[in-house]
């Protein structure tokens, strides 16, 4: 028994000692240039976690859109029909994943300024802290649009004894913190840096500011920051539509910020939406009605490329085709230039600039290869923009949040009959039940 125990101990120790190249521990100290870069890489990796932009957060954005059907049993079926439950693992997985990223960002923000390694120059310190502040801003923005006001934790949590005693902030207070981080990040990041679509730059900050101001209905600011991206020589709407996600040189001109994956750090979202004949698990698919919409050339045009089909034994099965290569090469798209055009179009419609709004909308429609809009009232234009966002971002995390922020979730989804009833409290997700039980400061959203 002693020999067996000793053998097992040393075998396990030998197995556990080597660290995979891609493993990043939250407990590793930040004390020099290399450890700082490792810590920052861990923040980016957290964004691509399966619980965040690697899968779960993305699906929360389009599962309840009315355009997706669930092909499995379990919690996802409740999300698809907007029957939200506080004990649903989809919500707890995402909530936990986002707060992990926040804590990693907090470590970089708080510790990097004190590092004394001469290789970590003041300019690099500013850049790395700026990147971490942007990522923390993105995390809190996503939490806010998903759950409303949340607990704002701005210092690293290093042990159970250091867990902060925080009540939930209001939605406005949460968005205020997002804005504060973005303003500080913009000042810290290098001016005029070369475009880098997998690292945060000042232009990445502008993209989130445009989106944030849209959600806060600050139309002039949304217009201003979207314009900064549209006027940048680094981004361009490319035709045909699928060129931005196809494996081609011009694809990068569409993307403002994306996450890269590899064989060691794969994204799971491709497998979930792809058909088994393409190596996927096929857990969800576009509804029959949405397939017909995307097949309509006058509505979808080139966006028909977002779906594909396989016919077996006379039965045709449709599936999402945005992520169609292998996990080592398919990125997760967070900001695209098409979104900036549609943000500015919406902002200008609200500002009364119908000509400018129509021009931006038609730029996106022309790229997609569909007839231009001739709407002449703000009401018609805003409906056109809503419908354009529906097909343009069919498999990206926008549709549900678009319907909520415009107050149209109930009327649209009940009309589609994908959700028999959308109750008012379901405009925000339930706080995970386990988190509420563990933390007396964390109050559940009303209705759950």
- The DSSP-derived string for 309-355 is EEEETTEEEEEE-SS-S-TTT--EEEEEHHHHHHHHHHHHHHHT-HH
Would you mind telling me the total number of residues written for the chain in this entry?
Answer: 448
DSSP 270: H
Residue 363, helix vs strand vs coil: helix
Q: What is the spatial distance between Cα 125 and Cα 138, in angstroms, rounded to a whole number?
A: 20
Handedness of CA 93, 96, 98, 101 (dihedral sign): negative
> In this structure, are 156 and 218 located in the same domain?
no
- Average pLDDT, stretch 123-146? 98
Last residue of a domain, one of 348, 368, 394: 394
What average pLDDT does the segment 308-319 reach?
A: 95
In a domain, 282, yes or no: no
Looking at the domain assignment, is residue 17 inside a domain?
A: no
Query: Residue 287: inside a domain, yes or no?
Result: no
| Whether residues 218 and 270 fall in one domain | yes
Q: Which of 366, 394, 422 is the last residue of a domain?
A: 394
- H helix intervals, 162-306: 171-188, 202-215, 219-230, 269-273, 288-295
φ and ψ of 40, to 5 deg:
-65, -40
The answer to whether residues 160 and 47 belong to one domain is yes
Whether residue 352 is found in the same domain as residue 220:
yes
pLDDT score at 4: 37
Same domain, 150 and 166: yes
Residues 261 and 369 in one domain: yes
Q: Are residues 230 and 178 in the same domain?
A: no
In a domain, 302, yes or no: no
In terms of Cα–Cα distance, which of 100, 173, 129 is closest to 30? 129
- Letter string b/e over residues 369-378, b meaning 16 or more CB atoms within 10 A of that residue's CB: bbeebebeeb
Asked if residue 59 belongs to a domain, the reply is yes
Q: Are residues 390 and 412 in the same domain?
A: no
Average pLDDT over residues 304-309: 96
Residue 359 has φ and ψ, to the nearest 5°, of -60, -45
Output the domain CATH number for residue 175.
Answer: 1.25.40.390
User: Is this structure's pTM higher than 0.85?
Assistant: yes
**pLDDT at residue 21 in the model:** 40
3-class DSSP assignment, residue 424: helix
* CA 442-443-446 angle, 5° bins: 155
> What span, in angstroms and rounded, lies between the C-alpha atoms of 240 and 304?
11
pLDDT single digits (tens) 19-42: 434 444 555 589 999 999 999 999
Same domain, 199 and 175: no
| pLDDT confidence bin for 190, thresholds 50/70/90 | very high
Q: Nearest-CA neighbor of 327 among 15, 40, 54, 16?
A: 54
Q: Are residues 59 and 104 in the same domain?
A: yes
Containing structural domain, residue 53: 32-189+407-448
In a domain, 364, yes or no: yes
Q: Contact at 8 Å (CB) between 58 and 397?
A: yes
CB 302 within 8 A of CB 91: no
User: Is 120 contained in some domain?
Assistant: yes
Q: Tell me if 152 is assigned to some domain.
A: yes
Q: Please give the structure tokens belonging to residue 434.
A: 């386990």
Q: What is the pLDDT of residue 325?
A: 66
């Amino acid at each position: 028994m002693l020999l067996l125990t000793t053998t097992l101990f040393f075998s396990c120790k030998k197995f556990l000692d080597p660290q995979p190249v891609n493993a990043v521990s939250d407990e590793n100290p930040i004390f020099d240039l290399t450890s700082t870069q490792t810590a920052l890489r861990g923040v980016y990796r957290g964004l691509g976690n399966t619980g965040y932009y690697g899968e779960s957060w993305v699906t929360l954005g389009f599962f309840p859109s009315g355009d997706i059907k669930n092909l499995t049993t379990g919690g996802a079926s409740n999300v698809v029909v907007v029957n939200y439950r506080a004990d649903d693992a989809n919500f707890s997985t995402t909530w936990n994943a986002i707060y992990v990223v926040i804590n990693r960002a907090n470590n970089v923000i708080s510790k990097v300024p004190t590092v004394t390694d001469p290789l970590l120059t003041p300019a690099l310190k500013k850049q790395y802290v700026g990147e971490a502040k942007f990522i923390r801003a993105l995390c809190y923005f996503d939490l806010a649009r998903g759950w409303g006001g949340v607990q704002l934790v701005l210092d690293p949590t290093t042990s159970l004894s250091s867990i902060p005693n925080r009540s939930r902030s209001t939605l406005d207070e949460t968005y205020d913190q997002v804005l504060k981080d973005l303003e500080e990040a913009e000042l810290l990041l290098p001016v005029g840096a070369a475009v880098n679509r997998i690292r945060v730059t000042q232009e990445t900050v502008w993209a989130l500011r445009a989106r944030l101001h849209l959600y806060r209905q600050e139309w002039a600011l949304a217009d201003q920051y979207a314009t900064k991206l549209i006027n940048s020589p680094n981004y361009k709407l490319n035709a045909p539509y699928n060129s931005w996600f196809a494996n081609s040189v011009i694809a990068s001109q569409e993307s403002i910020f994306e996450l890269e994956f590899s064989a060691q750090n794969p994204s799971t979202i491709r497998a979930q939406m792809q058909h088994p004949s393409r190596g996927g698990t096929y857990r969800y698919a576009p509804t029959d009605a949405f397939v017909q919409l995307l097949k309509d050339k006058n509505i979808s045009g080139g966006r028909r490329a977002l779906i594909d089909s396989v016919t077996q034994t006379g039965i045709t099965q449709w599936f999402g085709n945005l992520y169609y290569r292998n996990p080592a090469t398919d990125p997760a798209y967070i900001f695209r230039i098409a979104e900036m055009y549609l943000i500015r179009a919406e902002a200008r419609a609200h500002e009364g600039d119908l000509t400018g709004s129509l021009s931006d909308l038609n730029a996106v429609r022309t790229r997609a290869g569909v007839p231009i809009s001739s709407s002449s009232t703000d009401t018609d234009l805003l409906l056109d923009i809503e419908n354009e966002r529906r097909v343009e971002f069919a498999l990206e995390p926008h549709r549900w949040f678009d319907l909520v922020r415009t107050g149209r979730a109930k009327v649209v989804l009940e009309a589609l009959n994908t959700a028999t009833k959308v109750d008012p409290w379901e405009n925000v997700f339930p706080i995970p039940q386990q988190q509420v039980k563990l933390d007396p400061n964390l109050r559940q959203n009303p209705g759950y």
